[in-house]
């Protein structure tokens, strides 16, 4: 499977004043050209059932789209907008609404929309779609590449490794937890990267992992977190979308009662979700907003990466630990820098699957 790495920086190449005049290629001309391209460009976002205000993945997607829309003068509600899916049956109709409305590009937020995107793309060949977090797959679980679909994926296992190292470095009980939303190859990347980071720092730390089976059940997240904290885990990393909000609730309640417990957030810097009890140790930031902005810009410029997989990882500064480091020790920060350098140099290959983690763990013994 060929992967196309996309750089994160967008730059304007400007020449000197006299040359600009001679060539007629000044900044004003370029802005006018950009404005003309954006004038009739429309881009939409369809969320899964987690909603656009999940304080995690979907919200980050919408933030990226809002930034793009505002930067290029698009009107919210017309030039860019989102449709929130209340149930799975709404995925295809919502994607179809954007296609019927003449939208140039429609993002589908999350692997749960994989089948819906394939159906919508095949029915609307003149519309471009971008599937975030997954590839289209056939019945044999082989990747399918359609010219009007861009697959946008991330190297979540790399960022998860780094927060795993922080968890191991700062755990006082020698036991940490992982809570996933839906047991899937995608969320397994979070789990196995996290476990690899933990074990690389201290092979003797116990990691408890459990899946909620849903991305939108905070009460389930709270229940699982309660069990893990009761069993002695003092730090829990969640990759569970809205379900993860329940993990924060449980941690804050325990903090009020004097327990020294922590949460590691996901996708966005979730420092605020841990307030006022200050239970967010750090977060594994996954810059979905950057990817949405970048793919939107490429589509507007006539460079839509259809039929390809666009991968965003450490190299593209698209995953890593959050900027808020109030609760991260200096030793942990230094350790993260060391591990990040090793990953970028290829000295550490972070595992994504259970089998890869099992092999990785053997190298630590």
Q: Residue 208 half-sphere exposure, CB side, CA atoms within 13 Å?
A: 18
Same domain as 95, residue 201: no
Residue in 60, 154, 68, 66 with CA at minimum distance from that of residue 111 = 154
Q: Across all residues in the chain, what is the average pLDDT?
A: 90
Angle between helical axes of 185-201 and 354-363 (0-180°, round to 10): 10
pLDDT at 178: 98
pLDDT band for 18, please (50, 70, 90 cuts): very low
Same domain as 102, residue 165: no
% pLDDT > 90, the chain: 81
Q: What is the pLDDT of residues 262-275, one digit of tens each?
A: 999 999 999 999 99
Q: What is the pLDDT of residues 307-352, one digit of tens each?
A: 999 999 999 899 999 999 999 999 999 999 999 999 999 999 999 9
What are the residue ranges of helices labelled H in 171-236? 185-201, 218-230
Distant-in-sequence contacts of 352-360, Cβ < 8 A, 24+ apart: 352/157, 352/185, 352/188, 352/189, 352/192, 352/193, 353/185, 353/188, 353/192, 354/188, 354/192, 356/192, 357/192, 357/195, 357/196, 360/196, 360/199
pLDDT at 146: 96
Q: Of the ranges 10-14, 90-94, 284-288, which one carries the lowest mean pLDDT score?
A: 10-14
pLDDT band for 204, please (50, 70, 90 cuts): very high
Q: Domain of residue 253: give its range.
A: 156-285+329-364
Same domain as 239, residue 206: yes
Q: Token pair of 355, please?
A: 């089998």
pLDDT band for 34, please (50, 70, 90 cuts): low
Residue 264 contacts residue 282 (beta carbons within 8 Å): yes
Q: Token pair of 126, please?
A: 């003149």
Residue 347 lies in a domain: yes
207-211 mean pLDDT: 98
pLDDT band for 39, please (50, 70, 90 cuts): confident
Same domain as 247, residue 196: yes
pLDDT surpasses 80 at 13: no
Same domain as 150, residue 161: no
- Identify the H or E element spanning 31: helix 27-39
Please give the Cα distance from 262 to 281 (Å, whole number). Answer: 6
* Cβ neighbours around 285 below 10 Å, total: 25
Q: What is the pLDDT of residues 250-264, one digit of tens each?
A: 999 999 999 999 999
pLDDT band for 35, please (50, 70, 90 cuts): low
pLDDT at 141: 82
Tell me, what CATH number does 166's domain have? Answer: 3.40.50.2300
Residue 15 lies in a domain: no
100-117 mean pLDDT: 95
Nearest 5°: phi and psi at 338?
A: -65, -45
The number of folded domains in the chain is 2
């Amino acid at each position: 499977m060929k992967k196309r790495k996309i750089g994160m920086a967008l730059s304007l190449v400007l020449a000197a004043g006299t040359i600009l005049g001679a060539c007629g290629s000044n900044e004003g001309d370029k802005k006018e050209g950009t404005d003309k391209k954006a004038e009739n460009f429309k881009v939409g976002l369809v969320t899964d059932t987690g909603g656009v205000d999940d304080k995690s993945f979907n919200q980050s997607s919408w933030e990226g789209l809002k930034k793009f829309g505002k930067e290029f003068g698009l009107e919210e509600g017309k030039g860019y907008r989102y449709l929130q899916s209340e149930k799975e049956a709404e995925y295809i109709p919502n994607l179809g609404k954007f296609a019927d409305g003449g939208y140039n590009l429609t993002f589908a937020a999350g692997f749960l929309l994989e089948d819906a995107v394939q159906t919508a793309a095949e029915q609307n060949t003149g519309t471009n779609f971008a599937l975030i977090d997954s590839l289209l797959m056939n019945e044999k679980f082989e990747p399918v590449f359609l010219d009007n679909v861009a697959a946008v994926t991330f190297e979540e296992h790399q960022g998860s490794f780094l927060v795993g190292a922080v968890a191991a470095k700062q755990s006082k009980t020698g036991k940490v937890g992982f809570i996933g939303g839906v047991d899937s190859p995608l969320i397994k990347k979070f789990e196995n990267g996290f476990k690899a980071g933990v074990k690389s720092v201290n092979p003797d730390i116990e990691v408890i992992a459990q899946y909620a089976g849903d991305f939108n059940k905070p009460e389930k997240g709270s229940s699982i977190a309660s069990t893990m904290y009761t069993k002695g885990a003092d730090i829990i990393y969640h990759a569970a979308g809205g379900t993860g909000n329940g993990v924060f609730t449980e941690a804050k309640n325990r903090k009020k009662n004097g327990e020294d417990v922590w949460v590691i957030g996901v996708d966005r810097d979730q420092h605020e979700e841990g307030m006022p009890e200050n239970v967010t140790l750090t977060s594994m930031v996954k810059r979905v907003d950057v990817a949405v902005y970048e793919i939107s810009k490429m589509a507007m410029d006539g460079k839509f990466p259809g039929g390809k997989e666009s991968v965003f990882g450490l190299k593209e500064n698209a995953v890593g630990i959050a900027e808020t480091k109030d609760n991260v020790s200096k030793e942990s920060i230094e350790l993260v820098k060391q591990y990040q350098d090793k990953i970028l140099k290829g000295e550490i290959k972070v595992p994504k699957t259970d089998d890869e983690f099992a092999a990785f763990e053997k190298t630590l013994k």
